[in-house]
Amino acid sequence: MDVDFLFSVVMPVYNREKYLEDAIKSVLYQSCGISKIEIIMIDDGSTDGSGEICDKYQRKYPDHIKVVHQDNQGAAFARKKGVELASGKWINFLDSDDKLAKNVFHEVERFIRKHDKETDVIAFPVYFFGTRKGAHLLNYKFEQGSRVVDLEEEWQNPQLFINSAVMRAEVAKRVSFKDPVDIPTNEDAREMLRVLLEKKTLGLLSTTKYLYRRHEDTLVSNSKGNPKWYTDNLEQFSQYIMDYSYEKCGYVPKFVQFTVMYEFQWRLRQSKITENTLTQEEAEKYKQKLLSLCDRIDADVIYAQKQLWREQKSYLLYRRMGEYPHIAYDEEQNPIFEFGNLGVGNTINNTPVHLSFAELKNDVLTLEGWCSHYLYETQELPPLFLEIDGELHEVRVEEIPSGPHCLGENLYQKYSFYVQLPLKGRRKHRIKFILDFGGTKIQTEKLALGQFFPLDSHCRYSYKKYKNWILQKKDGELIVQKNTICLFHEIAYLLGIFVRNQRGSKKAILVRLLYGILSVLPHKEIWMVSDRILKADDNGEAFFKYLMDKKPKDLKVYFVISKNCADYERIKKIGPAVNTFSIKHRILHLLSTYNISSQGEKIVQHPFHGYEKAYRSLNLPRFVFLQHGVIKDDLSDWLNRRNKNLFGFITTSQREYDSIINGDYDYTEKQVWLTGLCRYDNLEDRREKIVAIVPTWRSYLLKGLNQFTGLHALKLGYLDSDFFQFYNRLINDKQLIETLKQFGYRLRFVPHPLMQPFINSFDKNDYVEFACADDSYRELFAKGSLLVTDYSSTAFDFAYLNKPVVYCQFDKEVFFGGNHTYKKGYFDYEKDGFGEVEYTLEATVDRIIEYVQNDCRMKPEYQKRVDETFAFHDKNNCERVYQKLLEMKSEI
């Protein structure tokens, strides 16, 4: 029957079987009833059960639901079709995995009665659910309540989303959705702006909400690997809408500029373009295109962006206005950086000084940290001063190497400071930080505390006890007091945590109370040892077994591992095992002298979830990194001192040791120990006719680290990746398999533990053994005769046993191009590797066959490299690590 609908809900549907019914029901069960609403579902070629769900609800509500099935053409074409079919006066575009609040259309109808002639678009706030909860950044525009805004006057109120709004159907049909585009993001924002340009007003409805389901990956982050995001998106959204606006209005309204600039924020925050997405020429063309479009944005619009760093605003304003910032003063006489009559962010006295480390020994306070300054102000590092009890002291600073901050550009320079302050003559010292800007000295009011600074930046009552001293931060100062009563400080801090009521705060209060009691009770010294959460069989287990055999009388040692993994019972036979993240684990962690692990992830170093800052001021154990392989590449971005603060850093070869001491890791000889890997003490040569294929992981194929397992999920496109395609073809190569059969060899496929959960995606054949997560690497090293790997440090284990290695580096440019965590280091695989480096599947197969035909013997040239690589060839690596730990206890 013919029904006059007030609202049409257009819903593009593509493979959303899991969430689709929730979306449909959120419309059907609106508080205003279904009588005024129609739903138009465009099944855009779904390959799951989404199409059937659409049909089921259409049969149930034939007067209110229309369904169109079409070949996959993308959301823009689906919306275009939906607009053509819509018979309602107002259209909403609900995504098929989101939901509408129950009162949306009731509240919209009330708003229409009051403001029908004033606007063509009525927007409502966006709230996340799913893997992320909370309000969207742009919800600030609803703070003044429901109203209609003049976008020419209040241009800082962008409406990007077409789904969190309703638009007048007559206008949408007339001016929008005429030529839908296939771009990764913002195709809906383009259509929204075309409608908004008709009246240049926007209705804001604050009394309802749009519920946006957040998945593990955001569309923007996924899009950065799509060339269209850099090319088509920039042209068909950003440039298009500015040109369209100019043709329509004779100028580009500021609300259009602001919307475009808001989208540019995510581009400008990208330090560099994702490797192998664009050619070098394309990347440079994209950068110049983006900056030229930024030059079309008015200076006050750039200044108004809330998510851009001050340095990024300054860079763009400098390009836009052609002048350097100068120091001026606002109405309250606060110093600010100014371009013309525009500031560039917070006042200068809010320029942060970053405090990374603090130590207080023998009445000497040691502070380490860093600051930054604009590169285009001066190439010289600016002076830094400390004011201590009213006296000014200049501090020596040094440049810190830092990567690009914006599309390959360095927008600022970091410089570090290290200062030792004797605490004499007073019971209380006040320390202020003074920054020098072109001769103008200004005290900073902002001290940014790094993850290893022993104070909680969220609570003013946080304190750190050092024998006879207490360290605190009050506003922009550090306070050091002598002989104060700790109990009063602890009570105040616990009350502060309770009042803040952050996630995990109640547990933090309980743990601090338990620690306060247990730490004063007599107990043996405690060391914690671990490997992965769900697997042992690495340097941690080797060292733990050594400690149990040695049985030091005054020492209690525990191995941390999940009781849900296969290795748990085996470890219990060696010595005391503690279930990961249990209360016992966390309490023992706080009471331990050392936390010793082969893994460097944050969850191993700091196993507390929730209010983590509450634990910083406690006597956390010193973290000793046993490593899970020999470092041959540059891992300084991950393992540098500001990111990990390793107390002990185990190395195996002299060149590895030198690369860390002389690299950008920021460690000294005190922290880096040349001892050899603990597991090498247990390596055996019991070779069988096994060819082991052991590729390392690829960070750019993984997402969503699970904090409780240490495992990741796969990103879309994994099955099409070069990584999967190469290894799937290699393990199924007919010529290789026939040769292995002929010479009596078996093939064993052992992906990295982070890739192990996805091993079933590979095609299986009867001749390849697929390793499982519980298999022992030590057994693999013992029984294997030939290792085939790409970049894995397992090559060092095989080489240590004088077994040959073949490297297959088919994706070398991608791997070392910035997509993975590795950067090329001192180790040259061609010159330093323990076997040939091949770059194609065919060459890899030929090389494996060559070794198999020659009984997998290591060639003399590679044997020579082995002899020159390892610092030790004995079975005393664990002993050297143990003696180093005893020696370093005097530093604690």
Evaluate whether 39 touches 51 at the Cβ level (below 8 Å).
Answer: no
Using the predicted structure, report yes or no on whether residue 325 has a pLDDT greater than 90: no
Evaluate whether 94 touches 163 at the Cβ level (below 8 Å).
Answer: yes
Using the predicted structure, report yes or no on whether residue 274 has a pLDDT greater than 80: no
| pLDDT tens-digit readout, 203-243 | 999 999 999 998 754 444 456 667 888 888 899 999 999 99
For position 218, what pLDDT does the model report?
Answer: 44
CA proximity to 748, closest of 647, 887, 848? 848
Please provide the average confidence, as pLDDT, over all residues in the chain. Answer: 89
User: What is the DSSP-derived secondary structure letter of residue 15?
Assistant: S
As a whole number of angstroms, the distance between CA 651 and CA 118 comes to 70
Element (H, E) at 167: strand 165-168
As a whole number of angstroms, the distance between CA 523 and CA 233 comes to 63
Using the predicted structure, report yes or no on whether residue 398 has a pLDDT greater than 90: no
Would you say the C-alpha torsion 726, 730, 732, 733 has a positive or negative sign? positive
Using the predicted structure, report yes or no on whether residue 486 has a pLDDT greater than 90: no
As a whole number of angstroms, the distance between CA 256 and CA 157 comes to 10
Average pLDDT over residues 417-434: 92
Evaluate whether 249 touches 197 at the Cβ level (below 8 Å).
Answer: yes
As a whole number of angstroms, the distance between CA 579 and CA 345 comes to 48
Q: How confident is the model at residue 1 (pLDDT cuts 50, 70, 90)?
A: very low
Average pLDDT over residues 804-822: 83
Listed range (89-103, 153-167, 398-412, 504-518) with the worst mean pLDDT:
398-412
Average pLDDT over residues 513-542: 92
For position 347, what pLDDT does the model report?
Answer: 75
| pLDDT tens-digit readout, 33-56 | 999 999 999 999 999 999 999 999
The SS3 assignment for 178 reads coil
Using the predicted structure, report yes or no on whether residue 699 has a pLDDT greater than 90: no
H helices then E strands: how many in the chain?
32, 42
Torsion from C-alpha of 170, 176, 182, 188, nearest 10 degrees: -80
For position 60, what pLDDT does the model report?
Answer: 96
Q: Tokens for 121, please give them.
A: 């678009």
Listed range (649-658, 704-713, 827-836) with the worst mean pLDDT:
704-713
Q: How confident is the model at residue 761 (pLDDT cuts 50, 70, 90)?
A: confident
User: What is the DSSP-derived secondary structure letter of residue 250?
Assistant: S
Average pLDDT over residues 762-782: 85
SS3 of the chain: helix, strand, coil, percent, to 5: 35, 25, 40
Q: Tokens for 522, please give them.
A: 């007599």
For position 708, what pLDDT does the model report?
Answer: 57
CA proximity to 526, closest of 588, 475, 579? 588
Listed range (375-379, 445-449, 553-557) with the worst mean pLDDT:
375-379
Sequence-distant (6+) residues with CB within 8 A of 725 are none
The SS3 assignment for 544 reads helix
CA proximity to 201, closest of 153, 251, 161? 153
The whole-model pTM stands at 0.78
CA proximity to 77, closest of 170, 187, 210, 232? 187
As a whole number of angstroms, the distance between CA 840 and CA 838 comes to 6
As a whole number of angstroms, the distance between CA 822 and CA 824 comes to 7
Evaluate whether 767 touches 746 at the Cβ level (below 8 Å).
Answer: yes
For position 602, what pLDDT does the model report?
Answer: 87
Q: Tokens for 406, please give them.
A: 């914006």
User: Which residue type is seen at 384?
Assistant: L
For position 379, what pLDDT does the model report?
Answer: 53
Element (H, E) at 42: strand 37-44
